[in-house]
Structure formats: structure tokens, C-alpha cells
Amino acid sequence: MPISDFKPRSLSLVLLISILQFGLSSCKKEIEPDQYELNQVVLYPSISAKNKLKSQEQFVSILYTNLFQQALSGNKLVEIIDCLESIGDKELGREVLISNFMNDPAVQLPSDSTMRANPEAFVAETYERFFVREPSQAELTWFSNFINAHPQLSAEMIYFSFALSNEYLYY
Amino acid sequence: MNRRRFIRAAGLTTAGAFAAPYILPSGRLFASSGQPLAGHVVYVLFAGGVRQQESVLQRYLDDSQGLPWEGNIMYNMLNGDAPQNKIVYGTDQGGGAEGGTPIPRILNQTLQTQGLLFKEVSSQSNGHYGGLNNLLQGSTVTTQGLKQKPVNPTIFEYLRRHGGYKATDAWFVGNGIGNSIPLLNYSNHPDYGSKYGANFFAPSVTFGNLGFEHLSNAKVYHPENELDPMYQMKYFLDQSFSSVGQGGDSLGNTEEEKQRIKQFMRDTYERVTQGLIAFPPVTDNSDSLNIGFACEVMREFQPAITVVNLSDVDGCHSDFTGYLRALHRADHAVGHLWNYIQTQIPGMANDTVIIASPECGRNLQHNPIKDVNDWYAYDHSDFNSSRVFTLMAGPSVPSNLVLGSENNSIGFTSDNVPTIAEILGVKDEVMNAGFLQSGARSLFERI
């Protein structure tokens, strides 16, 4: 078709189609997604949810890790379990075992000065270490008062009582 | 007050007046009904499956290996002359043949002469686990599996619940931690259980190499300055936890009892190191070793009930010669035990009854295994395995009396529990509890 036959009307139509095509394909609205954030929260089990008794193996392994900050070898674990089996009063057996651990130079205990510098922080840390939970306000208050009222009390003695407690037998 | 209210009030008052005296300070609900016959019982679980033929029947090799040599190799417990030929059960101390020197007699008078022998008793189990449970529960529960605590109350629980005995009055000295031995110090029964259980040691572990490595270096805390606040804190923690319904598995040792046991452990480690444990003169197997530690426990605690488990004769599954040696040593160990009580523990001398029964016998027919002497070994599964004896001696036990014979069985192994209950004053409570084997009764009633 000669150029003279090209009509302005046709040109307009082509332009309109081009504009529409460009517009439909490029004019998308940018949608900002809603973002929600959570505060970092450490979730601890509730005391009332602890209804499963630890096996002897679990108890000894966890106790050793809590007191020495390292894992107990499999051989030693078996030997210690045998020793506990050989004593009828299991609570007494655990007490003797803990007393032996406390006499080991490798035991990792906080210093008494650290404990006394901030009793509440120490108590909270001890609850988290042994019971994997935060203390209630009543527990925090009781222990803080107990520490302040007993100048001879050591971090070792507190660790001992936690390790010997009934709650420590459960998870 | 109308007539109906008056009658109800009067009835309640009367009931209270009857009930109040029986709620005792010791925690038991009722006063024990019987007068104890003695202050102490030593109960020997003897000794891992013993054939009548080599024990009370004294046939030595005659009824097992086809060799015509009879004799008594248990001459501390039983009357009878020792074998004269083919001596293999002794020590090597005299030179000559291996085991050719019999161990010298300890007791001037055998336990049989001092007491009462039920020569033929029925064991209600052919196996160790059922047999031991029967000796301790007075019944055999067929649904009770291995590695499971007894289903019915043990003699320890009966005595502690109904007799008001404290935890250190009841001891079980086991000769190891294998099988179910450490589980037998109390049952799972809801009305009894751990709080009425016995203290337990397996001395070969507790005071053996493992115990020395992991238990002997316990820190000693000051009772008032350290232990007291430690226990206060523990009790506070336990109280918090008990509010959610969980507790421990305590035997009910008081703090004083726990201190005493811990001190006993420290002393015993020291005595082991110094070679002061009250072992029998010949201590070359685990039974003799166990008896030595049982003597230590009795010397320290003077328990009302001490149960000692022996089991070395079970080597008879593959070694008949070893079985004879173990049987001879078990007799030696029991002789030492009785002699030690009478001469070294004034608080128990002349106030203790000893009872010894095998948990089961052994087969009439041998298995195919031969030992170094070419002698056949014996398992335990047939009717001969349910044939055992019971020997007892001490205050209130008739002396020099033998009841029953090879063809006249009297009593059951389950009788031992009500017998001990009678000696320690709680027979009626045990009989009425309803957990004994049908037909079980005190051996005193079978005389």
C-alpha cells in the first residue's frame, strides 16, 4: 500500500493499541507486603508439664553436663549407672554421686562472689540450668532471701540441692 | 438431740475410741498383733539352685556322676561325715590335687543340731527369679516378668508397714546387680512399695572397683553448717514440685539414717583398703565376699531383717566341680556368718534366727556338658528342681529336729515369709493381707 493510502485514522488506532499494550504491561502497582515481627522469647516447659521420669542414664548424663559443662563418656556412664544400681536407696545413691562429682577438681561452679553480687540473677540462672525453666517470683524471692540470710551458703551447696531435688528427676 | 442423731453421734464416738489407739506415732496404722520370738532374722537365699542329692542327701558324686562316693560337703550346716575319696571341693592350700583340701569346719555344732531342718520342701519355682521372688514375697506371680519389681509385697514391706521397723532395720545384701537382684528390695504394690522397702547394697559393685572409682571420694559436708541448709533448699524445691503431683522414690531413710549409711560407706571403703572386712577365712568367690559385707552391715546396723543372696552354685549349668566347690564355700560362708553374729555382734547374739533355703533345686538328669573332671553338669527345669530344704536355728526354734524325708515333703518355700513374720511379730497381718501363696503358713505350724 502506497504511503498516500495510509490514513490518519489507522495511525491513531495503531498508536492507541501500542499505548494500551505498554500501559497494561508496565503499570503495576507496587504492593508492599505487611511484615510482622516477633520479639525473641525463650520458651521453657512449665513445671506442671514435667511428668516424665528421667531414666538413670538421662539423669546421670544431664547431671554430668550441668556440673562439668561437657559430655560424659559412654563407658563412664555405664559404670556410674552400675554404681547407682548397687544402692537400694536411690536418693541416697544420687546424693553420694553428686558429692563425688563435687569433689572432682574439674567441676564447673560459679564463684560465691558472683552469686552474692546478684543473687536474683544467680537463682534465675540456676533454675534455667537445672530445671530448664524460670523461677516463679515466689521461688526467686525465697532463694534470694535464703542466700542473704545464710552467709556461709555457697554456690556449690545450692547446686547440690537442685541436683538432688525431685524436680530434677523429671522432664 | 433427737434419737437418730444421738445414735449416730454415739456410734461415731465409739468407732473413734476403737480406732484412735491404733494410729501409732511410727506411722503404721495398727499395732502388730504378735509378740516377737526374736529380735533379728538373717535369711540366706542359698545359693543359686542346689540339688537335694549333694546337699541334705549327702550323696556327693554317687547320685550325679555314677561314682560310688558319698559324703557331706556342708558340714557347718548339716550333720554327716565328709567324703573320703575324690576330694575336689576344697582349696589348693595343702598341695596335692586341685581342691583337695577341705575347708576346716567353723561351727562346733552344726546348724542342724542347733536348730530345725525341713529336709524336703517344695519350691514353687524351678528358676532363680521366680524362686527368689517366692522366698521374698511368699508367692509366685506367674505374670511377673524378669527385670520387674515384685508385684506383691515383700517380707521387708510387711515388716516395715505392720511392724513399724525403720528403713535401716531392713537390709538386702545382693551378690550383684544382674538379673533382677537390685529390684527385689520392695514391690510395686500400691499399698506397700518403696516407702516400706529395704536398704540394699550389691557389695561387689558398691565396694568393688566401680564403687571405689565413682562413689568412694564423696565430699563430706558438715551436718549443721552445710547439709542442713542444703536439705532445707531441697525440701523447698520438692515442696514446689509436689504441688504438681510428682515425688521421688525414697525408701524412707531419715536424714539421720542417711548420714549413718553414708558414714558406713566411708568406713567400709577404709576397711576394704586396710583389709579389715569380716570375710570368711576362705574368701575366693563372690558368695564369700558377699557374706563378709553382710557381716559388716549387720555389725553396723543390727537389722531386724537381713537377707543375703548367694548364687555361685549356679555355675553347675556347665561345671559340676565348680558347683561342688561353691556349695562347700556357701556352707563355709553361712557357718562364718552365724559364728560372726554369735561372737562379734553382741546386740544380735542369742537373739537372732537364721533361715536358709535354696530358691530352687536342680535337675535329676544331667545335661551334655562335661567339666575338667569329665563330670556332667546340671540345669534346673524338671521336678527335681522343685525339691529343696529349709534350715533354721536360733531362739524359739526347736533344736536337733529333722522333719520330712525324701518321700515325705513338708511345707513350701513360700512358708518362709509367714515364718519370718511370726518371728518378728507380724504374722497375723501378713496372713490377713491376702497375698501369700495358697497354703502358705508359718513353719512353726508345721512342726
Q: How would DSSP label each residue in B61-100?
A: TTTTSS----B-S-TTTS-SPPP-SS--SSBSTTSSSTT-
How far B9 CA sits from the closest chain A CA (Å)? 43
pLDDT tens per residue across span A19-40: 777 666 655 667 777 888 888 7
How far A71 CA sits from the closest chain B CA (Å)? 16
pLDDT category at A8 given cuts 50, 70, 90 is: low
* Mean of pLDDT values over B64-93: 96
Q: What pLDDT does B1 receive?
A: 43
Residues of A in contact with B297 (CB under 8 A): none
Mind giving me the DSSP string for A134-162? PPPHHHHHHHHHHHHH-TT--HHHHHHHH
**Cis peptide bond upstream of B19, omega within 30:** no
Which residues have C-beta within 8 Å of that of residue B52, sequence separation ≥ 6?
A: B120, B361, B384, B387, B388, B389, B406
Dihedral (CA of B263, B332, B372, B387) sign: negative
How far B231 CA sits from the closest chain A CA (Å)? 7
pLDDT tens per residue across span B183-232: 999 999 999 999 999 999 999 999 999 999 999 999 999 989 999 999 99
A133 to A50, A53, B245, B439: CA distances (angstroms): 11, 17, 18, 55
Mind giving me the DSSP string for B195-228? GG--EEE-HHHHTSHHHHHHTTT-----IIIIIH
* Mean of pLDDT values over B15-44: 64
Q: And the C-alpha cell for A146?
A: 535464703
pLDDT category at A6 given cuts 50, 70, 90 is: low
The answer to whether the Cβ–Cβ distance between B230 and A99 falls below 8 Å is no
Q: What pLDDT does B352 receive?
A: 98
The answer to whether the Cβ–Cβ distance between A83 and B233 falls below 8 Å is no
Which has the higher per-residue pLDDT, B93 or B356? B356
Q: And the C-alpha cell for B394?
A: 536360733
Chain A residues with CB within 8 Å of chain B CB: 47-48, 50-51, 79-80, 82-83, 85-92, 95-97, 99-100, 102-104, 136, 139, 142-143, 146, 150, 152-153, 157-158, 160-162, 164-167, 169-170
Q: And the C-alpha cell for B268?
A: 567400709
Q: What are phi and psi of B362, to 5 degrees?
A: -140, 170
Nearest CA in chain B to A79: B210
The fraction of chain B above a pLDDT of 90, given in percent, is 84
* Mean of pLDDT values over A56-79: 96
Q: How many Å apart are CA B77 and CA B112, to the nearest integer?
A: 6
Which has the higher per-residue pLDDT, B167 or B2? B167
pLDDT category at B14 given cuts 50, 70, 90 is: very low
Q: Indicate whether B77 pLDDT > 90.
A: yes
Q: Are B383 and B364 in contact (CB under 8 A)?
A: yes
Residues of A in contact with B265 (CB under 8 A): 96
A143 to B228, B233, B283, B368: CA distances (angstroms): 15, 8, 52, 68
Among B156, B212, B214, the residue to mutate for chain A (most A Cβ within 10 A): B214
B89 to B44, B54, B73, B93: CA distances (angstroms): 21, 12, 8, 12
Nearest CA in chain B to A145: B233
Nearest CA in chain B to A160: B230
The answer to whether the Cβ–Cβ distance between A96 and B240 falls below 8 Å is no
The answer to whether the Cβ–Cβ distance between A158 and B233 falls below 8 Å is yes
Specify the amino acid at residue A168: Y
Which pairs from B17-26 meet CB under 8 Å and 24+ separation? B24/B164, B26/B164
Which residues have C-beta within 8 Å of that of residue B440, sequence separation ≥ 6?
A: B138, B139, B412, B414, B415, B417, B418
Q: And the C-alpha cell for B316?
A: 553347675
The answer to whether the Cβ–Cβ distance between B202 and A85 falls below 8 Å is yes
Residues of A in contact with B182 (CB under 8 A): 85-86, 88
Q: Are A145 and A135 in contact (CB under 8 A)?
A: no
The answer to whether the Cβ–Cβ distance between B182 and A86 falls below 8 Å is yes
Helices (H), B313-376: 320-344
CB pairs under 8 A between A and B: 139
The answer to whether the Cβ–Cβ distance between A86 and B237 falls below 8 Å is no
Residue entry with cell 565328709? B82
pLDDT tens per residue across span B131-154: 999 999 999 877 777 788 999 999
* Mean of pLDDT values over A145-150: 96
The answer to whether the Cβ–Cβ distance between A79 and B242 falls below 8 Å is no
Q: How many Å apart are CA B352 and CA B41, to the nearest integer?
A: 5
How far B307 CA sits from the closest chain A CA (Å)? 13
Q: What pLDDT does A49 receive?
A: 79
pLDDT category at B19 given cuts 50, 70, 90 is: very low
| pTM of the entire predicted model | 0.87
Q: Indicate whether A4 pLDDT > 60.
A: no
pLDDT tens per residue across span A88-103: 999 999 999 999 999 9
pLDDT category at B355 given cuts 50, 70, 90 is: very high
Give strand pairing partners of B199: B171
Phi-psi region of B94 (alpha: psi -120 to 50; beta: other; left: phi over 0): alpha
pLDDT tens per residue across span B86-122: 999 999 987 778 899 999 999 999 999 999 999 999 9
Residues of B in contact with A136 (CB under 8 A): 240
Across chain B, what does the average pLDDT equal? 91
Q: What pLDDT does A13 receive?
A: 77
Nearest CA in chain B to A51: B246
The answer to whether the Cβ–Cβ distance between B241 and A165 falls below 8 Å is yes
The answer to whether the Cβ–Cβ distance between A88 and B200 falls below 8 Å is yes
pLDDT category at A51 given cuts 50, 70, 90 is: confident
Residues of A in contact with B294 (CB under 8 A): none
